[in-house]
């Protein structure tokens, strides 16, 4: 922390702040400038958020944090990138580009099995599908629950694909982990800390979606919640942030990919379906994500998007998904990766 | 919904969309303009989000929703404002301005009892204090849990004040409802739909905080989750939204007060402590909230803000809180309310 | 500035940064912590933005600015608030609450004279009306130009009111200053630095609207442009910032009022008409602005809002404006001000 | 426009709105639904913004615009993409990827000539450099003005490269057009309508930067200002929008590339230097931009970024720029383009 004193701060104000810094267990380093004094208090600030509490003291203008607040997620702790094993022969974080594809909601067994074969044929390695659905409206389809998990598992086994699905509630973490190879925490639950902790105790890899309102550092703090409970397998997912622009459902922050890669060893994927909200923008943004260095993609695919129970406008049909995978091919190569 | 067809849409495209609208149970009303056709599909869209799914059909440019998606929260269902009874003689939503005050975290019994007497003496009617704390960092103080609930209850009883505290997890809703008069759902959980449903089954009034990135309508949809489970007692709380401005911790959207009042019968309070993040802005924003028509305020108060375990920079000490309440007095009168 | 070195920074990196700080004319103050070194470089950074240029040097993680970049606008230079004389007996910044009212666009002489008498009767002291109109569309009404200025002047003289109007182009600053008592710089031109400089050379008070995208500090830097050219009479105007919320045209940042008052001696008014975009929210937000300490208000008023050539949805008719002024009265008193 | 009436609207309200629509020259199409009436008023709304003015009429809940407000910029007017000739053998908008590179500010002749040769050798086709600099602070370097234009021209001629530079003021449009092959309008002036009009009268191609808080549609309206004055050669530039994320200087909205391509025939380039603000993110975002279909790039390059007079932290040195151009090569090929 750096404590910036106001120009009007008295000698007594400065002395009190220095005393308080010591009391909190830090060593103060005052720098007396021409117009004001700033006081450094360097050391491991983690777990000591109370230093921030100096702000209301008389004469203090600003308290500036210096250290990054995450630790286990940081490259300072682990400089080489994490490679996470999702299933035999399927990893993420190395040179393999991981593509997860499937419908927003698990609707029926026929829909899931048809989709599983189609996305696998086009090159996807992981099947997605929602059984517990976070919907803005209580009157909208809320997902098939456990029945949906069973269908998803069955479709995954049919096509020999690992599956990923969302968990929304601490009470269902174990249930979801029984059926899924990867458990997903959705954007709206990115700061549902009870859920993060529970998921962090699971043996399954966690796919953690960035919230539409969380900064990159806050997302890493959410990952830190999982890691601090014992998990080592957190995959981050950029899926668009909320801005003033309304041409797209969210603004896909592709620059989050290099920023995450700089700050953390965890793999990073991009979801251009939620990120744009419109099927016609999914392909260019998938290509851009791979070019920016993403470790994987998550794409919504539905046999008949105009009949999807949810997220139809942003879903690709099988032909468009196959086209996307074909278009992706030279970009994957250019990025030094393989499927 | 209004379906806007592209100028390039063919006759066949238009016919297909009309057929699909009928198939979904609506009556289509096409309007053929000089450059394009738009098709109205009016009726109760609630529970029929699938109409949105027409967007990917050929020739469709845009699907524009018309109806507000909430129902039980709307003034169309209940035109007069709801007055919620919090405790004997204490209501919110009528002419009584409700002030909830207390520390961010329950730290100790001494701290809570001292605070309860102080805020009551200054005019507050409800005591707040966090036992389960949503913290960005897993290394920060997470709250005393049930022990904290007991202390809060004890302090409330000592000062004869009802108490409000946050619940973060479905598994703890009943526990919190046992101790608290009002159960709070925090901004980070505003779209934790499992939690909203569970809270909606409780008999306690619910204080629902707007998320830092939820729109007013989305917040009403979250209230709708509680109402649709049976609750009739939801109090909304504006506490600042996330914007590019960094002079304040969040941007307090005071205009949400008249907008909420226009759209819903539910009472609306404002939390200028989280909304600004700095103690020196709390008083002017509290005054402004009352002038804008807020039904109540939630203010963080701590015996010694510079030693608070959380949110010290935005907490008022007892003297400043008393000063605020005194300054508030003529504004409460001007707004036609009483404490 | 505080230069934060990466944990991996070598001794040579640190030495180079220290050398560069000296080269730029500052005195370096290194603080060697347990995991990293930070280097303070305190002094007047204004005019020396080059210190920021240290960021690309090897081993540097972050460069944190400490000083506020404005000087003439700051309370450090002038601690008491500025009271600006607008016309004989009319000031802003003291205990007089200044209300500017009138239509968005000057449409006709009849419209302006009728409006001038009506707003004056209701209590407004300054007449507003646009002659040069910044419109998003080149096909929309662009204003009557000099003819509009003449009408505005005439209406102001008829009702004995000073007038305020916008200038959009350096080439028209002198023309506008010939007709107007206050020259307004609109939100879209808040960083039109050429225009700010030209206006700063005018003898007229300047009404500077905050941009929908500028922070409070950037707005003060724009004011600094005017002040640095010799003007002493800049009035700041909060008129809403752009956020994700779409219930209102912009999000009126009322907390900007106390923040501006803390940082600058310049008076601050609020424009709830642009800030909300809807007539029905103007009154509650006007009340809130006065409660928050605003020095004045700017309100759009039109004889028949539904026939206004621009901004009809946010304009009050005469009856509603009179009602607003009446409702405002006890809040003005509560704020310790008079009209 | 679609006028949505409130459920409480009376028959008289509806009749009045219908009458007003006719009065404004449109044909009303009422649709009477079960809970409310909506009224379509289809036709060319351009130049008739007054239809929006129906909003304040009694019983009106909402007025929803349907048509896109731009015309000359739209693909409805010109379905094939515009290819703009910048200099002999150099075009943008076709299969040639155009790279503009150079320093933020023109500092000296030596700096510019050195840079011109270096960026040309690495593959850039156009030289950039600022002579008039929009700076947040009046105390920062404001650019060399006409002297800077001369240096830029000289460097361009030395390396046989066309040059692009910013104009900030209507009074200098002709001067800048005398020296520059492309005249740039900066993000802060994107809604300086007087400047847009003046530039639109110039014979030079215009590089129009999106504002940090203008929507895609508003940016197209700004382009429409230039086009409506006669220009046919407007190049759009995405350079990042302002959001809550602070890891990057702005959030580069790469999805703007496919959205612009869908809505307009004008070419679109991306500026990852301003878009990210940090040199280390420029390369991945340049790659991503090309993958998303950008027609060109604008990159800040400086001989010694840590000594740059402006924007050093986001500038590449010669080696890093050459590395970027090399890395870009397979992505340009994958995108079906050539340098």
Residue C49 has pLDDT above 80, yes or no: no
Q: Is A273 within a domain?
A: yes
Distance of alpha carbon A30 from alpha carbon B233, whole angstroms: 53
Cβ atoms of residues C273 and C315 within 8 Å: yes
**Would the CA dihedral through D259, D262, D263, D267 be positive or negative?**
positive
Q: How far is D29 from chain B (nearest CA, A)?
A: 7
**Are B195 and B307 within one domain?**
yes
* Structure tokens that stand for C29 in this block: 């103050």
> What CATH number is attached to the domain comprising A23?
3.30.70.1140
> What CATH number is attached to the domain comprising A112?
3.20.20.70
Alpha carbon B138 to its chain centroid, in Å, reads 25
Q: Which residues in chain A have their CB less than 8 angstroms from residue D210's CB?
A: none
* Strand A206-209 versus strand A182-185 pairing type: parallel
**Are D184 and D289 within one domain?**
yes
ipTM of the complex: 0.93
Q: Is D30 helix (H, G, I), strand (E, B) or coil?
A: strand
**Are C44 and C127 within one domain?**
no
In Å, how far are A237, A240, A285, A314, D260 from D256, measured between CA atoms?
A: 21, 13, 10, 16, 6
Q: Which residues in chain C have their CB less than 8 angstroms from residue B245's CB?
A: 215-216, 241, 253, 256
Nearest to B308 among A53, A169, A309 (CB): A53
Distance of alpha carbon B95 from alpha carbon B295, whole angstroms: 8
Confidence of residue C268 (pLDDT cuts 50, 70, 90): very high
Distance of alpha carbon D33 from alpha carbon D94, whole angstroms: 49
* Structure tokens that stand for D218 in this block: 């508003």
Name every residue in B having a CB less than 8 A away from some CB of D: 2, 4, 7-8, 29, 31-36, 38, 40, 42-44, 62, 64, 66-67, 76, 242-244, 246
Residue B135 has pLDDT above 70, yes or no: yes
Name every residue in A having a CB less than 8 A away from some CB of C: 2, 4, 7, 29, 31-36, 38, 40, 42-44, 62, 64, 66-67, 76, 242-244, 246
HSE, side-chain direction, 13 A CA sphere, residue D216 = 23
pLDDT of B245-268, one tens digit each? 999 999 999 999 999 999 999 999
**Are B128 and B52 within one domain?**
no
For residue B31, is it left (φ>0), alpha (ψ between -120 and 50) or beta?
Answer: beta
Q: Which residues in chain D have their CB less than 8 angstroms from residue A215's CB?
A: 244-247
**Are C102 and C157 within one domain?**
yes
Nearest to A306 among B56, B69, B189 (CB): B56
**Are B192 and B325 within one domain?**
yes
Q: Give the N- to C-terminal CA distance of chain C in Å, as an integer.
A: 44
Q: Which residues in chain D have their CB less than 8 angstroms from residue B66's CB?
A: 2, 4, 38, 62, 64
Nearest to A213 among B50, B169, B212 (CB): B212
- pLDDT for C48 equals 52
Choose, out of A30, A66, A76, A262, the residue to mutate when testing the contact with C (most C CBs < 10 Å). Answer: A66
Interface partners of A (3+ CB pairs, < 8 Å)? B, C, D
Of all helices (H) and strands (E), which one includes residue D137? none
Residue B46 has pLDDT above 60, yes or no: no
pLDDT of C79-110, one tens digit each? 999 999 999 999 999 999 999 999 999 999 99
Residue B44 has pLDDT above 90, yes or no: no
**Are A147 and A48 within one domain?**
no
pLDDT of C190-219, one tens digit each? 999 999 999 999 999 999 999 999 999 999
Q: How far is A301 from chain B (nearest CA, A)?
A: 13
* Structure tokens that stand for D318 in this block: 């010669």
**Are B28 and B156 within one domain?**
no
Q: Which residues in chain D have their CB less than 8 angstroms from residue C308's CB?
A: 50, 53
* Structure tokens that stand for B248 in this block: 């304040």
Q: Which of B320-324, C46-50, C325-329 has the lowest mean pLDDT?
A: C46-50
Q: Mean pLDDT across chain D, nearest whole number? A: 93
Ranges of chain A whose pLDDT falls below 70: 42-50
- pLDDT for C47 equals 52
Chains C–D, number of C-beta pairs less than 8 Å apart: 146
Q: Assign 3-class secondary structure to chain A.
A: CEEEECCCCCHHHHHHHHHHHHHCCCEEEEEECCCCEEEEEECCCCCCHHHHHHCCCCCEEEEECCCCCCCCCECCCCCCCCCEEEECCEEECCCECEEEEECCECCCHHHHHHHHHHHHHHCCCEEECECCCCCCCCCCCCCCCHHHHHHHHHHHHHCCCCEEEECCCHHHHHHHHHHCCEEEECHHHCCCHHHHHHHHCCCCCEEEECCCCCCHHHHHHHHHHHHCCCCCCEEEEECCECCCCCCCCCECCCCHHHHHHHHECCCEEECHHHHHCCHHHHHHHHHHHHHCCCCEEEEEECCCHHHCCCCHHHCECHHHHHHHHHHHHHHHHHCCCEC
**Are B33 and B90 within one domain?**
no
Residue of B nearest to A62 (CA): B313
Q: Is D224 within a domain?
A: yes
- pLDDT for B24 equals 83
* Structure tokens that stand for A198 in this block: 């529970």
Q: Is D182 within a domain?
A: yes
Nearest to D285 among A215, A254, A330 (CB): A254
Q: Which of B81-85, B327-331, C57-61 has the lowest mean pLDDT?
A: C57-61
Confidence of residue C179 (pLDDT cuts 50, 70, 90): very high
Q: What angle do CA A70, A72, A75 make, to 5 degrees?
A: 85
Q: Is D71 within a domain?
A: no
- pLDDT for A129 equals 97
| % of chain C residues with pLDDT over 90 | 77
pLDDT of B8-36, one tens digit each? 899 999 999 999 888 888 888 888 877 78
Q: How far is B56 from chain A (nearest CA, A)?
A: 5
- pLDDT for C200 equals 97
- pLDDT for C73 equals 95
Q: How far is C273 from chain A (nearest CA, A)?
A: 20
Q: Mean pLDDT across chain B, nearest whole number? A: 93
CB contact under 8 A, C224 and D138: yes
**Are D42 and D100 within one domain?**
no
Q: Which residues in chain A have their CB less than 8 angstroms from residue B174's CB?
A: none
- pLDDT for C45 equals 60
Chains A–B, number of C-beta pairs less than 8 Å apart: 145
pLDDT of C112-157, one tens digit each? 999 999 999 999 999 999 999 988 888 888 899 999 999 999 999 9
Residue of A nearest to C27 (CA): A33
Residue D49 has pLDDT above 60, yes or no: no
More confident residue, B260 or D26: B260
Choose, out of D241, D252, D254, D260, the residue to mutate when testing the contact with A (most A CBs < 10 Å). Answer: D254
What is this structure's pTM? 0.94
Q: Is D180 within a domain?
A: yes
Confidence of residue B45 (pLDDT cuts 50, 70, 90): low
Residue D43 has pLDDT above 70, yes or no: no
**Are B96 and B230 within one domain?**
yes
- The tally of domains found in chain D comes to 2
Q: Is C176 within a domain?
A: yes
CB contact under 8 A, D170 and C170: yes
| DSSP secondary structure of D143-169 | --THHHHHHHHHHHHHHT--EEEE---
Nearest to A42 among C38, C243, C246 (CB): C38
B42: which residues sit within 8 A by CB, 6+ positions away? B26, B27, B29, B66, D31, D32, D33, D34, D35, D36, D38
Q: Is D79 within a domain?
A: no
Residue of C nearest to A5 (CA): C66
Q: What are phi and psi of B173, to 5 degrees?
A: -60, -45
pLDDT of B168-200, one tens digit each? 999 999 999 999 999 999 999 999 999 999 999
Residue B107 has pLDDT above 80, yes or no: yes
HSE, side-chain direction, 13 A CA sphere, residue C281 = 28
Q: How far is B244 from chain C (nearest CA, A)?
A: 7
**Are A281 and A216 within one domain?**
yes
CB count, 10 Å around CB of D178? Answer: 11
Nearest to A69 among B20, B137, B141 (CB): B137
Strands (E) across chain D are located at 2-5, 27-32, 37-42, 60-64, 84-87, 90-92, 98-102, 126-128, 163-166, 182-185, 206-209, 234-238, 268-270, 296-300
Residue B155 has pLDDT above 80, yes or no: yes
Q: Which of B111-115, B308-312, D260-264 has the lowest mean pLDDT?
A: B308-312
Q: Is B313 within a domain?
A: yes
The residue from A32, A64, A96 where one domain ends is A64
Interval C302-312 mean pLDDT = 88
Range(s) of the domain holding residue A293: 84-334
Strand order across the D37-42 sheet: D27-32, D37-42, D2-5, D60-64
Of B219, B207, B224, nearest to B163 (Cα)? B207
Q: Which of C2-11, D180-189, D259-268 has the lowest mean pLDDT?
A: C2-11
């Amino acid at each position: 922390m750096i404590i910036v004193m106001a120009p009007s701060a008295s000698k007594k104000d400065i002395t009190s702040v220095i005393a308080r810094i010591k009391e909190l267990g830090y060593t103060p380093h005052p720098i007396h400038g021409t117009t004001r004094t700033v006081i450094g208090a360097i050391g491991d600030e983690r777990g000591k958020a109370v230093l921030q509490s100096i702000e209301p003291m008389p004469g203090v203008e600003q308290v500036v944090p210096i250290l990054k607040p995450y630790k286990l997620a940081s490259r300072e702790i682990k400089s080489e990138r994490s490679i996470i094993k999702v299933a035999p022969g399927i990893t993420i974080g190395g040179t393999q580009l991981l593509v997860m594809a499937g419908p927003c909601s698990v609707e029926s067994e026929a829909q899931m099995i048809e989709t599983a074969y189609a996305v696998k044929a086009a090159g996807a390695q992981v099947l997605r599908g929602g059984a517990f659905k976070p919907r803005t409206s209580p009157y909208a389809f809320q997902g098939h629950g456990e029945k949906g998990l069973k269908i998803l598992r069955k479709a995954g086994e049919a096509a020999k694909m690992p599956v990923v699905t969302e968990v929304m509630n601490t009470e269902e973490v174990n249930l979801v982990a029984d059926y899924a190879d990867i458990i997903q925490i959705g954007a709206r639950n990115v700061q549902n800390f009870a859920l993060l902790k529970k998921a962090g105790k699971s043996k399954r890899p966690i796919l953690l979606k960035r919230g539409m309102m969380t900064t990159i550092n806050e997302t890493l703090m959410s990952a830190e919640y999982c890691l601090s409970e014992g998990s080592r397998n957190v995959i981050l997912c950029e899926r668009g942030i909320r801005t003033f622009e309304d041409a797209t459902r969210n603004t896909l922050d592709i620059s989050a990919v290099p920023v995450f890669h700089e700050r953390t060893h965890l793999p990073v994927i991009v979801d251009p379906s939620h990120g744009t909200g419109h099927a016609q923008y999914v392909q260019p943004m998938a290509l851009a994500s791979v070019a920016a260095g993403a470790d994987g993609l998550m794409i919504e695919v539905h046999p008949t998007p105009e009949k999807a129970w949810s997220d139809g406008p942003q879903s690709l049909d099988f032909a468009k998904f196959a086209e996307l995978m074909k278009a992706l091919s030279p970009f994957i190569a250019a990025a030094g990766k393989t499927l």
